[in-house]
Structure 1
Amino acid sequence: MKITFIKPNIGRMEHSLYVDQGRMEPLMLAVLAGLTPPDVECVLYDDRMEAIPLDEPTDLAAITVETYTARRAYEIAAEYRARGIPVILGGMHVSLLPEEAALHADSIFLGDAESAWSQVVEDARRRRLKPRYNGVPGVAQFGDVLPRRDLFKGKGYLPMSLMQYVRGCRFACRFCAVSQYFDRKHYIRAIDEVLREIEAQDRRFLFFIDDNIASDQKALAELCHALIPMKVSWISQASLDVTRNLPLMDLLQRAGNWGNVMGFESISAESLRETRKSPNIPGFSGYRDEVRILRDHGMQTWAAFTLGYDHDTPESIAATVDFALKSKFTFAAYNILMPYPNTPLYRKLEEQGRLLYGGKWWLHPEYRFNSAAYVPARMSPNELTAACHAARTRFNSFGSLLNRFADPKTHLRSLARIGAYWYYTLIFRKELYKKHGMRFGLH
């Protein structure tokens, strides 16, 4: 028996195919391959950088689906099904919209797949695949099975190993699909498993892809203590409230944490309250203390901003860039507020009649990446799209890169950090312009 795992691309540019130079390892597909019995052949094809050999014999196509890749994932599924090969779709988008996904597959998997993947494999072996499987969300225990990282070889992924310690987040931001998926819960993996996985691979630079590694600060402290003797460098995603725990910030620094993706979201207290971004609101004073603490601990921060709240204007978006430049963030993402399906934000905009593209922007042939998918309150959709693109362009100009680089508290602390700064900022700068306005799907 043979299973083909597929990581779909977003789509294509207007006049050419798109190759994602900033692609990271699709960790969860390697986890599923690791959970697959050894007598089953596993192959991985990544649509972001290689052609999928659709005519290659296989017994099951397992495709992971995100909202941004849904249109392309359904195209790939249709190609396999036309050849008589059964398809199972999984991933967060499938769990948020199972009825939609079921139209494009022989089977769908809801929830986290580890708890029932063995059943899927056995049913596929007997050619009795069920229409739907239900996993238990948040099962972060991989047991004694390690991800099949051998499947990543030769695919040109960024030189970091993806890991996971915590799934889910205790907060309830209105725009967040993660909070909806995990119902505000978080699940913690056994530290011994994490350490064994680190020891089983060669890289010393890690990316914990946790939804919020600081969701449980006690658990994060335990991980840091365990990582200190491992002598690794790592990054993750963390809520901003971790800066209010100075002993933990010291511990993060000692444990080799270089910085984190952090959801600043907005520099407006009104917008933070609107979106219920509770980790950022207490004592809000324009993030002066939070930025100072991050820089004092040498954190190379990736600041994530979400733009397009009902209080936002083109002027407030420009002011957000001013703040990010002054703060000398390593990276900053200026994301348009997106109505992800079945989130509180989506339901609010739907009730108000403000959704564009018939609501299902992720499938609409006219939608373009980095475009507004709803009608903002204080500007037009085109104005919001243009303001966010201008923010990305300004922040990623070469003058900005040089100005932010000259910071002894963060990027100049070591040769390794200097190298990482230029390697990643230049890659993501290039990807920024390539992805803007890209079509979803290939057809």
Structure 2
Amino acid sequence: MQSSVPELIAGICPPHVEVEIFNEKEVDIPLDRHWDLVFFSYLHSYYEHTKVLSTLFRQRGITTVAGGRHAGHFADDVEKYFDAVVIGEPEANVPAVIEDFEKGQLKRRYALPSLGPAAIKPQRYELLDFKLSPMRMSSIEASRGCPFTCNFCVLTGHEKYRYRPVADVIDEIRTKMAFNKNFFGLIDNFFGFVDNNLGGSPKYLRELCEALIPLKKNWGCSLTFNILKDESLVKLMAQAGCRYIYTGLESLNPDSIKAMNKGQNKLSDVDAVIRRAFSNGIILSFGLLVGSDGDTNEYLEKVPQYLADLKHFSITFLGIVCPYPETPFYRQVQSEGRLLPGTISRDYDGYTLCHRPKNLHPSEAAEHFVRLCKQLGSFPNLLRHYSSKLLMSNLPRYRSGILFSGPEILSIRNPVKNPERRYIAGLDSIEAWDAEQMAKLGLEPQRLS
């Protein structure tokens, strides 16, 4: 799944503005081009890289703007490297930035209040280039935020759950959305919801599914575990074309779930939930985290065994629990003196340990992470994934969805392909190009410990 932020921002630019999109997961940014105004949206771990790009552009007279969660939380620091900072949602702020820029009156910060979910405009789907990312699917937002308060989540305390009018979502899918024609049309009817939690309101989800049925499209989404326990709602989602659901289960250890304040996850229901989803033609995958305060060496050693006992279980993401600076978890480990020394923003990538877990030495947590990535992302595990699930449903597009979900299994091992990494904050160097450019430009990394 790719971020839809570039296409979303393009959709709220005034009609006279000429827009180009560059996604560094797909293509390198051309450093010799000239633009009037560049918007950067980035994750915490890409702050060093992004401020290098911004500095290089500003040296050539290009105006740069930063937005997103990191920029909003660290606006004082971000202002040093960008001409303007957007704090908050883009629908009100991006048009204001462009208007002021055209008048030569650009402000340093833009923090206009949200216009509400009804103000979300259709993405510029025509700017998608499926040749650059052959397996990418179009995506859409129906809602923002989440009603739960998991202690490690960047939404907690910052975003309430809200959703767009169903009619707006359906109209965008029907009249605006572009579909990927690659692979002989096997995925030309698929799209994804990029909502943090499409099931934040079960009532809204039901209404949305009812409206999706006539479109006869297939789609995937992310939502919380509690929705999967509602048998009638899962069946309705399948009828509406849902073929893929990702859920952040995070752990199979009750103590770890408790430490995360993730009470909506009921581990005793996992097996029934898995069977229900697949029998309805929905591919269900989970994410797990290493390094929670409930984790022990004994539990992490047995994770593959626990997964083997759950025959149809699929893990498509494995990460290290991360104390992002705007979260309750960060405030907790900071107050307890458990942030690791030398931590910089680059380390907040979801694959680097930035704190001392209560029951593990940092090196133990890192070793478990590397081992589990290799085991869960192995080719034999991919074969088990196919053999256990391929024949569980005859619904349309289910089997092709299973086949295309295979690369997700193998991708679990991608974060540990670099043998030089230690996966512990303060021990891994910044990428060579970024480090070289930072030295030339006199830039220092943002230190967060």
- 1:261 is the counterpart of 2:246: yes
Instruction: Check conservation: 2:152, 2:330, Cα contact below 8 A.
Output: yes
Q: Kindly indicate whether residue 339 of structure 2 is the aligned counterpart of residue 363 of structure 1.
A: no
Q: Verify the 8 A CA contact 2:151 2:261 in the aligned structure 1.
A: yes
Q: 1:397 aligns with which of 362, 378, 394?
A: 378
Partner of 1:314: 297
Q: 3-state SS of the aligned residue for 1:293?
A: helix
Cα deviations by residue, 1:336-395 (Å, 9 ceiling, x for unpaired): 1111112111111111111124443x236xx88723111122222122112122112112
Number of the residue aligned with 2:40: 63
The one-letter amino acid of 2:387's match is A
* Cα displacement (A) at 1:194: 1.1
Q: Which residue of 1 aligns with 2:15?
A: 38
Is the 2:46–2:346 contact (alpha carbons within 8 Å) kept by the matching residues of 1? Answer: no
Q: Within the alignment, does 1:296 sit opposite 2:279 as a pair?
A: yes
The Cα offsets for residues 15-50 of structure 1, whole Å up to 9 and x where unpaired, read as: xxxxxxxxx444121122121122211111122232
User: Structure 2: how far apart are the matches of 1:180 and 1:432?
Assistant: 32
Per mean C-alpha deviation after superposition, the further-off stretch among 319-328 and 251-260 is 319-328
Indicate the structure whose relative CO is greater, using CA pairs within 8 Å and at least 6 residues apart: 1
Q: Does 1:125 align with 2:102?
A: yes
C-alpha RMSD of the superposition? 2.4
Q: Hey, what's the Cα distance between the residues in 2 that align with 1:68 and 1:138?
A: 29
| Amino acid aligned to 1:85 | I
Unpaired stretches in structure 2, ≥5 consecutive residues: 180-188, 422-428, 435-449
Deviation track 1:155-200 (CA, whole Å, cap 9, x = no partner) reads 3253311111110000000000022331xx1110111111111112
Letter in 2 for 1:115: A
Aligned 8 A contact 1:33 1:42 in 2: yes
Task: Tell me how far 1:208 sits from its aligned partner.
Answer: 0.3
**How many angstroms does 1:295 deviate by?**
3.3
- Rounded Cα–Cα distance in structure 2 between residues aligned with 1:341 and 1:287: 31
1:354 pairs with 2:354 = no
One-letter identity of the residue aligned with 2:307? A
Residue 114 of structure 1 contacts residue 135 of structure 1 at CA under 8 Å; is this kept in 2?
no
Deviates more, 1:149-158 or 1:106-115: 149-158
* Contact kept in structure 1, 2:281 and 2:393, CA below 8 Å: no
Counterpart of 1:426, as a letter, is: P
Q: 1:239: Cα distance to partner?
A: 0.5
Q: CA deviation at 1:100?
A: 2.6
1:440/1:158 CA distance change after superposition, 3 Å: farther
In the alignment, the residues of structure 1 paired with residue 222 and residue 115 of structure 2 have an alpha-carbon distance, to the nearest angstrom, of 17
CA distance in 2, matches of 1:140, 1:285: 36
1:72-107 CA distances to partner (integer Å, 9 max, x unpaired)? 211211111121211110012222322232222111
Offset at residue 245 of structure 1 (A)? 1.9
Indicate if the aligned counterparts of 1:72 and 1:440 stay in contact, CA closer than 8 A. no
Could you tell me how far apart the structure 1 residues matched to 2:154 and 2:212 are?
30
Give the counterpart letter for 1:152 in structure 2.
L
Residue range with higher mean Cα deviation, 295-304 or 245-254: 295-304
| Residue aligning to 1:162 | 139
**Aligned residues of 2:319 and 2:350 also touching (Cα < 8 A):** no
1:413 match: secondary structure: coil
Q: What letter is aligned with 1:315?
A: E
| Shift of residue 269, structure 1, vs aligned partner | 1.8
The 3-state SS of whatever aligns with 1:30 is helix
User: Residues of 2 paired with 1:35 and 1:379: CA distance?
Assistant: 47
Deviates more, 1:378-387 or 1:315-324: 315-324
- Shift of the 44–411 alpha-carbon distance from structure 1 to 2, 3 Å rule, reads farther
Indicate the structure with greater strand content. 1
Residues 268-308 of structure 1 show CA distances to partners (whole Å, capped at 9, x for unaligned) of 22221211102114xx5263333333333332112011221
Give 2:124's match in structure 1, choosing from 125, 145, 148.
148
Per the TM alignment, residue 426 of structure 1 is displaced from its structure 2 partner at its CA by 2.5
Shift in Å, 1:431: 6.8
| CA gap 1:435/1:201 in 2 versus in 1, 3 angstroms | farther
Question: Contact conserved, 2:223 with 2:246, CA < 8 A, in 1?
Answer: yes
Contact 2:146 2:161 in 1 (8 A): yes
Instruction: Give the match for residue 4 of structure 2.
Output: 27
Indicate the SS of the match to 2:243.
strand
| Residue 313 of structure 2 corresponds to residue 338 of structure 1 | no
| Counterpart Cα distance in 2 of 1:391 and 1:194 | 39
Residues 85-94 or 373-382, more deviating: 373-382
Does residue 425 (structure 1) correspond to residue 406 (structure 2)? The answer is yes
Q: How many residues align?
A: 412
> After alignment, is 415-424 or 46-55 more displaced?
415-424
2:225 equivalent in structure 1 = 240
Q: CA deviation at 1:323?
A: 2.9
Moved over 4 A (4+): 408-412, 434-441
Which structure 1 segments of 5+ residues have no match?
1-23
Kindly indicate whether the alpha-carbon contact (under 8 Å) linking 2:288 and 2:315 is maintained by their aligned counterparts in 1: no
Q: Distance in 2 between matches of 1:193 and 1:74?
A: 36
Q: Aligned in 2, Cα 1:80/1:29: closer, same or farther, shift over 3 Å? A: same
**Is the 8 Å Cα contact of residues 264 and 280 (structure 1) preserved in structure 2?**
yes
When normalised by structure 1's length, the TM-score is 0.86
Aligned-residue offset at 1:404:
1.9
Letter in 1 for 2:167: D
Name the CA distance, whole Å, in 2 between partners of 1:101 and 1:327: 47
Which of 65, 74, 77 aligns to 1:97? It is 74
How many percent identity over aligned positions? 25
